[in-house]
Amino acid sequence: MWKKNLTALQTIIRREWIRIIRIWVQTLIPPVITMALYFLIFGELVGRQIGKIGNFTYIEFIVPGLIMMSVITNSYNNVVSSFFSSKFQKNIEELLVSPTSPYTIVLGYSFGGVVRGLFVGVLVTLTSLFFTNLQFQHPLIIFITVILTSILFSLGGFFNALFAKKFDDVTIIPTFILTPLTYLGGVFYSVKNLPEFWQTISYLNPILYMVNLFRYGFIGISDVNLFFSLGFIVLLSTLLFLLNVRLMKIGYGIRN
């Protein structure tokens, strides 16, 4: 049985990879252009007015957060759009009648989101080199953070797709929850510069921990505890994975 599930997992991942490459103009180019505009407008133009944050220029401070923002968005969007399309076109029924386990289905689609998130993250990182000289003070932290974050938001996209009943439902969470949390997650500022009340509110935002972990990997500064942040991301990912598997087992959003 495990061999069949391994074959199914490889097939789903390959299908997702082909999908990403086949429509690369939609999946890879837009986030690179968007982030290039952020680098230009916020990093260069606005950054000159702001000056330095600590020992770093403004663009050096925000680049890690912008890279992380692109990883989050694309990991999430890839899975929610792909899995919902499979539901809408009834392709998912082929998997459901096969011996493929719910664990394999969740893992397969999530890995597809991870692949796109990492691919876009690399492209955005390369683009940022045209605007600033990146530092890589803790490469292992960078690698672990980007992997864990892309896994978490790929699982989040899967969860969204399970609940979505029409195409409009696919955009509700990214528009009204994900985007505000990302912009308020310390991408453009240090949370320590906020009044005490808003600092407390900010610490409830899970994206704050991912952005600061990633920033620590590049320039060695963080507003949050690193070990707590890593544990928090792992815990959220595990809970979301188990929840998605449970929903797949009962056929929520698929059989009803």
Q: How far apart are CA 217 and CA 68, in angstroms?
A: 12
Q: Would residue 255 count as lying in a domain? A: no
pLDDT in tens, 106-151: 999 999 999 999 999 999 999 999 998 888 999 999 999 999 999 9
Q: Would residue 130 count as lying in a domain? A: yes
Q: How far apart are CA 38 and CA 243, in angstroms?
A: 35
Q: Would residue 86 count as lying in a domain? A: yes
Least confidently predicted of 89-93, 185-189, 220-224: 89-93
Cα separations (Å) of 153 from 71, 158, 159? 9, 8, 9
Q: How confident is the model at residue 1 (pLDDT cuts 50, 70, 90)?
A: low
Alpha helices per DSSP H over 51-185: 58-88, 92-96, 102-128, 139-163, 167-173, 179-183
Q: Would residue 85 count as lying in a domain? A: yes
Q: How far apart are CA 151 and CA 115, in angstroms?
A: 10
Q: How far apart are CA 20 and CA 113, in angstroms?
A: 9
Task: Tally the domains of the chain.
Answer: 1
Q: How confident is the model at residue 256 (pLDDT cuts 50, 70, 90)?
A: low
Angle at CA of residue 112, ends 235 and 149, nearest 5°: 30
pLDDT in tens, 70-112: 999 999 999 999 999 888 888 787 777 778 899 999 999 999 9
Phi/psi for 188 (5° steps) reads -105, 0
Q: Looking at residue 215, what is its pLDDT?
A: 95
Least confidently predicted of 34-38, 87-91, 198-202: 87-91
Q: Looking at residue 96, what is its pLDDT?
A: 76
Q: Would residue 212 count as lying in a domain? A: yes
Give the domain extent around 19. 2-250
Q: How confident is the model over 205-230, as a mean pLDDT?
A: 94
Q: How many CB atoms lie within 10 A of CB 198?
A: 12
Q: Looking at residue 219, what is its pLDDT?
A: 93
Q: How confident is the model over 15-20, as a mean pLDDT?
A: 91
Average per-residue pLDDT in the chain? Answer: 90
Q: Looking at residue 145, what is its pLDDT?
A: 96
Q: Would residue 74 count as lying in a domain? A: yes
